[in-house]
Amino acid sequence: MTPKTERIVVVGAALLDGGRLLAARRTAPAELAGRWELPGGKVEAGERPEDALVRELREELGVDTEPVERVPGEWPLRAPYVLQVWTARLRPGSPTPRPLQDHDELRWLTPGELWTVAWLDQDVPAVQEIRNLTAPWV
């Protein structure tokens, strides 16, 4: 019998502002470079996913954010990783997002522009779920 592999949660941010969603273009690893994703990263041991989201967005984009609510669903990445997504907003006085780590470009997308970027395959189901949300986009 093989030991059960413990899953590792990766948090993604549906960072919403003014009816737009922030997309970030990857620079690495090579197989992901040039594709777009929801910014975020791994939850560290003992860290709440919401806290990891705030930390990752500060590290990757230089912004101060607050999680709003978890997007329904969980999406498998390569084992043992799973993606969980939260809607989030910029805190008052936060700097404008800028690509600091892992990304070379950011775009704010309206609901009608969601599919104008080449999303990473693993982010597509999450983006579809975000598209179905109404309250944050209003």
Beta bridge partners of 8: 81
Residue 88 lies in a domain: yes
Length of the chain: 138
Question: What pLDDT is attached to residue 6?
Answer: 85
Residue 121 lies in a domain: yes
* pTM above threshold 0.95: no
Question: What pLDDT is attached to residue 2?
Answer: 42
Residue 59 lies in a domain: yes
Residue 3 lies in a domain: no
**67 closest CA partner among 137, 136, 138, 8:** 136
Quote the domain boundaries for residue 53: 8-131
CATH classification of the domain holding 107? 3.90.79.10
Residue 137 lies in a domain: no
* pLDDT per residue rounded down to tens, the chain (138 residues): 444 568 999 999 999 999 999 999 999 899 999 999 999 999 999 999 999 999 999 999 999 999 999 999 999 998 999 999 999 999 999 999 999 989 999 999 999 899 999 999 999 999 999 998 865 665
The angle subtended at Cα 44 by Cα 122 and Cα 23, nearest 5°, is: 35
Residue 1 lies in a domain: no
Task: Count CA atoms closer than 13 A to 37's CA, side-chain side.
Answer: 26
**Cα–Cα distance between 39 and 103 in angstroms, integer?**
9
Number of domains present in the structure of the chain: 1
Residue 55 lies in a domain: yes
Residue 136 lies in a domain: no
Contact 52, 44 (CB under 8 A): yes
